[in-house]
Amino acid sequence: MMTPMRYVVLVLAIVISLHYILSFTHEGYGQATSISNIRSQWSAGRPPYKTPVPDEYYVSENVTAPSGRRANAAIVMLARNSDLNGIVVSMKQMEDRFNKKFRYPYVFLNEEAFSDNFKNRVTELTDAQVEFGLIPREHWYQPDSIDEAKASASRADMVKNNVIYGGSVPYRNMCRFNSGFFYRHPLLDKYRYYWRVEPDVKFFCDLDYDPFLIMQDQNKVYGFTVSLYEYEATIPTLWQAVKEFIHENPDLVSPDNAMAFLSDDGGESYNRCHFWSNFEIGDLDLWRGESYTKFFDHLDKKGGFYYERWGDAPVHSIGAALFAKKEQIHFFNDIGYRHEPFQHCPQGEAHKRGKCWCDSAQNFDYEWYSCLSRYDKMFS
């Protein structure tokens, strides 16, 4: 070998050796030069979900035991005993498409005790741990601070104007519970992440990677599959309450937040976009934190859950958009999902890889009532 070439080889060997030594001895250097970080830099200027999930997250098709690395997470299902048949449909699909490979525990919550029949049916569907919890009365029912005469008049007016669930107190109880209390249940104290699943939903695709690990490793805090506009008649004063909170607590709003998803004029008005919260994969610490706790308490004192019909979807969406960075909100484009009447059906390679059984032409992502284009625009 010629002498100059020897020097080149020697220098390369030294550089490579130093790289590996620093990767193992300095965590910051290792993270900065990791493949995932380099990929994230390549994806700058476009939505994060456009960068495919790295192959190392996928498990082999013939794996029958749970993978070795798991997040501290649970699948959460709010249900009544009368929801049993719908729960079985959702849970069976969840097991077949995802959880038989990963065996994450289930937490079922109900304002009444679950029947033995309910418990037996659902535990037969999984090898994972299943827990059943009773919701504290003060977390579920309309609080005494609500003026019932005013609330009743509001419900009657909504019924008159054909507002969906406009006359339902139980629906309002559910919205308030999901907005500010589900994550406080003692059965969830030991968990960091959750996947919310409802009765009678469809999961169209095989999911051969663990979305909880994506949340954990990429510092995501909120994941969705469908986004759309809220019914204006259900939230006439919600944004005014939000603006009051921001004005009083500007230090709690995250830098590089997702306000652009919520508003087209810098926060002056609300465009009604929200993430459809019947599907959520989230970080419980987002809701447990000081910012969201104060935010929910502020909204709860306004009484809008009962005087109007504030849903947990816009409340969660506004909370995530204000108190997280936009990069921490993730679109799970490869999880095929339907909750009547909308569905997300993965497209292209994601549809093929997931062996999805939905028709890719029937996809809500960019329909006129979808807000996904506004989410995409934040990263352009």
Residues in CB range of 84: below 8 A, 6 or more apart:
117, 118, 121, 122
Q: Could you list the active site residues?
A: 280
- pLDDT tens across 139-173, in order? 999 999 999 999 999 999 999 999 999 999 999 99
- pLDDT tens across 276-312, in order? 999 999 999 999 999 999 999 999 999 999 999 999 9
- pLDDT tens across 226-249, in order? 999 999 999 999 999 999 999 999
At residue 6 the predicted structure's pLDDT band, cuts being 50, 70 and 90, is low
> Is a pLDDT exceeding 50 seen at residue 42?
no
At residue 12 the predicted structure's pLDDT band, cuts being 50, 70 and 90, is low
- Minimum mean pLDDT range among 49-53, 212-216, 227-231, 339-343: 49-53
> What is the amino acid identity at position 359?
D
pTM (2 decimals)?
0.84
- pLDDT tens across 332-342, in order? 999 999 999 99
What is the per-residue DSSP string for 57-83? GBPPTT--S--S---SEEEEEE--GGG
Reduced to 3 states (helix: H, G, I; strand: E, B; else coil), residue 224 is strand
Mean pLDDT of the chain: 90
> Is a pLDDT exceeding 90 seen at residue 49?
no
Residue 60's pLDDT is 65
